[in-house]
Structures are given as C-alpha cells and as structure tokens.
Amino acid sequence: MGLKTPLYGKHVEAGARIVDFGGWDMPLHYGSQKEEHHAVRTNAGLFDVSHMTIVDLKGGRVRDLLRHLLANDVAKLKDSGKALYTCMLNEDGGVIDDLIVYFMHDSWFRMVVNAATRDKDLAWIRRHAESYDVKVIERAELAMLAVQGPKAREIAAPCVDAEWREQALDLELFTGMEAGDLFVARTGYTGEDGWEILLPAMRAPSVWDRLVAGGVAPAGLGARDTLRLEAAMNLYGSDMDETISPLEAGLGWTVAWDPDERDFIGRGSLEKLRADATRRRFVGLLLEDKGVLRNHQRVVVDGVGDGEITSGGFSPTIGRSIALARLPAGDYDRAKVEVRGKLLNVRIVKTPFVRNGQIRIDV
Amino acid sequence: MSELPGDLLYTSEHEWLRREDDGNVTIGVTDHAQAALGDLVYVELPELGQDVESGGDMAVVESVKAASDVYAPIDGIVVAVNEDLADDPERINADPYGDGWIVKLQPSGDIDEGALLTPVAYQTLLDEEDA
C-alpha cells in the first residue's frame, strides 16, 4: 500500500492497472498503453501527476537564492508566470533533480520537482534557503493534472472560470497563470501542446470528470513514458542522476553560463567537464533491426568503445524501437546494441524523435 | 478475469499447452500474462527444428513495458511458430488462447502431466497471486 493521490478513486473506477511509482500507487494504464499514447498525439490525454512535489519559495531574496541553487538562470524570467526548465546540481555538477520553476512575482517562485526525489530536494533547498531568509513551503494540498494533446487546451478551457478563460487560452508556451484557485500552465512532458493544471485536491475529481466527459482519454504512466521518450525529454533516475552532469545527459542547453560571475552550485565542476574532449555524448538511437531497445543495454561503437542505453523502448508513433543513450566521445553515426547476446544495428539520430504529432527523424 | 479454457494445461510461468490430435503441443501465454505485460510490440520466435528443454528459454515476448521469456514447458522439437506474430504481436493481447498461440512442439517423450497445472490448479495460483 502506497501513497494515493486525490484521483486514486477515479483511476480504480476507470479500470486502471495500479503500480508503485516512487512510493505512490499510480495508474500504469487503463487498458491499452498504446491507445492512450495515440490519444495524446492525435487528440487529448489526461494524466494525474499529483504525486509530483510543488514547492513555493517566498522571500525578498528568492531570486538570488535560485540564481545560486539552479544551473539555469532565473534572471531570464522577467514576466510573471514565465517558466524555466533547469537542473539543480550538487557541487560535483551531478544532477540532484530536474525541475520547472515559475516566476510568480518578485518575492515568490514556484517549483515542481520529481516525486521520487522529494525528500532530498526539500532538504537541499531548505539548507540553502536559510541564509537567504527564504521560506520553503510544500504545497501538498494541491493536485496536478496534465491535459496534453493537440485538442487539450480547447477541451480543457471550460474548466477555467470565464473570467480568466481567454487569458489562459492565450498563454504562451512555458508560461503559467493563476486563474482563481487554479494555476494553469502551458507546459507538459509529452512533446504535445497542452496544459498542466494545479488545483486544490478537493476539486481534482470533478475537474477530472469534466475533462473525461469532454473527450480527454485518461492516460497512465506507461504512455507518459513512451511519449516523453519520443519527445526526447529526460527522465530523472534513468537518463541522469547525482553522478551525471547535465553536459553528459543532453541538458547542456539548460545550463546558463552567462554571466560569468554567476556562482551557481556545481559551476566549477561543469566548467572543467565542458573543456574535456572525452566528455560522453548523449544521443538518440533508432533500431534498424527487429527487437526492442531497453534501459541499461550495452551499446558498442566499433573502434571507439562502449556506452549504455539510459531510456529505451518501443515508439508507438514510429512503430520502431528508439532509445536515449550515453556513448563515448567521437564522431560516428552508427553503433550496435547488445540484446540477448546478439548485436543489433542502431543509427544515431537527431532528437526529438516526435514532436507535435509529427515524426521528426528519417525512418 | 475471464474463465480459463478447460481443455488446456497450464504452468506457473503463466503459459498454456494444448495437446493436439497429431500428438504435437501448442503453447502460448495466458490471458493473465498478456494483461500483466500490456500491449505486445515484438515477439522473438525460435527456429524450426530447434531442440528445446523443459524450463529453457524458447521465445521472448516484448511489450511496451518489458521483455519476458517464454519457457519450454516440456522437452521437444519446434515444429511450427506463429509467423503472424511478427507483424501483429498484439494478437497475443487480443486472443491469447487462439490466434495468439506462439509455438508448436513435437514432444520428445511422454508428457509429465504431473509437472503441469490443471485449469483448477492454475486458477488457484491466480487467486493466490491476487490475494
């Protein structure tokens, strides 16, 4: 028996197969993971992501704190509601967690961090917040829904009170806003358009019902994983962890090097790795032979060395197996993956594999 | 959960066997197994003529979620494989006891039915797993 979100009853009602995820009893799928995946790519799907940890940081020096704590630079966030994807690093440049941070106003930022890393994240944030006199407030009373897909915003719009509806529909990508007791953001983890909606736990079941009645398909963690893999979005604990820097996890673009004088945690270690020509590559793979790529399979690059698949699976959109992998440095575009003693051919491809319903690689 | 076909034998690895009139044995995975695996995306089949030993790997079924070995429930020789699964592995999800069959074996000796489960014994196993 694990922790249950306010929507647990809805999952059971909808026939979900429940699995443990970081201590939470969460829906894996509601019958067919593939159908849920396609629903998100072609119409709209609904995920319960209430297990994720929402943290509000409040205080006059909160911006200074976050410019030290996070590898991306919250100084980029100038308009209220604007969001940033970033890693939180340890001194060695390893990733403690990846997260989204929203700028609410000058003395208030909101972070959404992973469920499985909640305890260590909160401890780390609190440890650093103290000297900045910033309050760290976990918002466990909030539920979180992700409604994702080309039709998601249109179908979800009536859940936002009329007063704010138009403004919500006009939200730019990676921006959120308060709409009464809802917080609506144009963010997600699927490679599709859509919203993530934070709301009081009490209201979550009725909003869930309303979205389902509007034609949004409940989708479980299984589809969430294949969707994010196709979108080449990293999964903490698989693609990176405390021993891996963002530079070897395909997240170099989230590290803000300018201005030089900004002293964020892990910067010194990252600077060294940045100059290191033997730094590993993080790439997308497409399987050319039959089979399925899986996490931890060995990748063999002839004449170069070995690497490892960090996230592998079957892509329902492409109909082939794809993966994210960490490979030795070098200039090459083919490799082999060891699957049950056989070496299968893979091609290195530019990610994302799929975005906004479209296959983006040559197959 | 649907009722188990009464004319089959089962294994604790969630496979089923049907003794055909020609003496061969058809093998597949149970409805419980396909449901636990989720949508099937790939099936690796053995070569025709391959010798298999009871308890040894014989095929692999891969779902969106995971890869799972299919074990030979008896000693035998592979005399047929379900080629349709190559293009349509979801036949196993749709019809695990029919179109979703996986392998036919020619037994290399008497079948020890005592080592296999009757429908009642397999149902008991499922009930215990649920409990």
Query: Which of A215, A230, A245 lies at the terminal end of a domain, its last residue?
Result: A230
Residue A26 β-bridge partners: A19
- Please tell me the distance in Å from B67's CA to the nearest CA on chain A: 8
Residues of A in contact with B60 (CB under 8 A): 340
- Same domain for A204 and A337, yes or no, is no
Does residue A145 sit in the same domain as residue A220? Answer: yes
Handedness of CA A199, A200, A206, A209 (dihedral sign): positive
Q: Which amino acid is at A106?
A: D
A226: nearest CA in chain B? Answer: B64
Identify whether residues A224 and A299 lie together within a single domain: no
CATH at residue A33: 3.30.1360.120
Q: Which domain holds residue A221?
A: 8-47+141-230
Nearest chain A Cα to B63, which residue?
A314
- CATH code of the domain covering residue A327: 2.40.30.110
The DSSP bridge pattern shows strands A53-58 and A135-138 to be antiparallel
Contact by Cβ (8 Å): B31, B63: no
For the beta sheet containing B40-44, the strands, ordered from the edge strand earlier in sequence to the opposite edge, are B40-44, B57-63, B67-71
Residue A79 in domain? no
Same domain for A197 and A304, yes or no, is no
Within-domain flag for A190: yes
CA–chain centroid gap for B124, Å, is 18
A218 half-sphere exposure, CB direction, 13 A CA radius: 25
Note whether residue A235 is domain-resident: no
Residue ending a domain, among A195, A230, A265, is A230
Of chain B, the percentage scoring pLDDT greater than 70 comes to: 98
User: Which residue, of A210, A230, A250, is where some domain finishes?
Assistant: A230
Which of A294, A311, A314 to probe by mutation at the B interface, max B CB count within 10 Å?
Answer: A314
Whether A306 is in a domain gets the answer yes
Cα A292 → chain centroid: 23
Where does A170-219 have alpha helices with state H?
204-213
> Does residue A159 form part of some domain?
yes
Residues A39 and A170 in one domain: yes
Per residue in A52-108, pLDDT (tens digit) is 999 999 999 999 999 999 999 999 999 999 999 999 999 999 999 999 999 999 999
- Using an 8 Å CB-CB cutoff, list chain B residues near A290: 42, 86
- What are the structural domains, with CATH classification, of chain B? 13-110 (2.40.50.100)
CB A136 within 8 A of CB A129: yes
Taking the C-alpha atoms of residue A260 and residue B44, their distance in angstroms, rounded to an integer, is: 54
Residue B38 to residue A33, Cβ atoms within 8 A: yes
Measured CA to CA, the distance from residue A333 to residue A50 in angstroms comes to 40
Hey, is the C-beta of B38 within 8 angstroms of any chain A C-beta? yes
Question: Which of chain A's residues have a Cβ under 8 Å away from the Cβ of B33?
Answer: none
> Is the Cβ pair A222, B38 closer than 8 Å?
yes
Phi, psi of B84 (to 5 degrees): -60, -20
Task: Give B130's pLDDT tier (boundaries 50, 70, 90).
Answer: confident
Average pLDDT, stretch B2-12?
92
Walk along chain A (363 residues) and give the pLDDT tens digit of each residue. 799 999 999 999 999 999 999 999 999 999 999 999 999 999 999 999 999 999 999 999 999 999 999 999 999 999 999 999 999 999 999 999 999 999 999 999 999 999 999 999 999 999 999 999 999 999 999 999 999 999 999 999 999 999 999 999 999 999 999 999 999 999 999 999 999 999 999 999 999 999 999 999 999 999 999 999 999 999 999 999 999 999 999 999 999 999 999 999 999 999 999 999 999 999 999 999 999 999 999 999 999 999 999 999 999 999 999 999 999 999 999 999 999 999 999 999 999 999 999 999 999
Model ipTM value = 0.87
B42 in contact with A, Cβ within 8 Å: yes
Q: Is residue A339 part of a domain?
A: yes
Tokens 């979620």 -> residue: B65
Residues A152 and A290 in one domain: no
- Whether A39 and A175 share a structural domain: yes
Give B77-96 pLDDT, tens digit per residue.
999 999 999 999 999 999 99
Q: Are A152 and A192 in contact (CB under 8 A)?
A: yes
Compute how many other C-beta atoms are within 10 angstroms of the C-beta atom of residue A144: 25
| Residues A310, A301: Cα–Cα separation, whole Å | 16
Q: What are phi and psi of B33, to 5 degrees?
A: -65, -45
Contact B81, B45 (CB under 8 A): yes
The amino acid occupying position A160 is V
Instruction: Tell me whether residue A272 is in a domain.
Output: no
From CA A361, how far away is CA A243, in angstroms rounded? 30
Task: Kindly state whether B98 is in contact with chain A, defined as any CB-CB distance less than 8 angstroms.
Answer: no
Q: Is it the case that residue B1 has pLDDT exceeding 60?
A: no
The answer to whether the beta carbons of residues A187 and A174 sit under 8 Å apart is yes
Residues of B in contact with A294 (CB under 8 A): 66-67
Residues of B in contact with A226 (CB under 8 A): 64
* In a domain? residue A335: yes
How far, in Å, CA of A360 to CA of A357, rounded?
Answer: 9
Structural domains in chain A (count):
2
Residues 6+ apart with CB under 8 A from A324: A229, A232, A234, A239, A250, A282, A283, A284, A285, A309, A310, A311, A312, A351
Q: What's the confidence (pLDDT) of residue B129? A: 85
pLDDT at B2: 65
Which residue in the set B38, B39, B67 is minimally distant from A294, CB to CB?
B67
C-beta atoms surrounding B8 within 10 Å: 21
- C-alpha distance from residue B93 to each of A161, A348, B86 (Å): 43, 32, 14
Q: How confident is the model at residue B3 (pLDDT cuts 50, 70, 90)?
A: confident
- Residues A353, A285, single domain; the answer is yes
Q: What's the average model confidence in pLDDT over B12-41?
A: 97
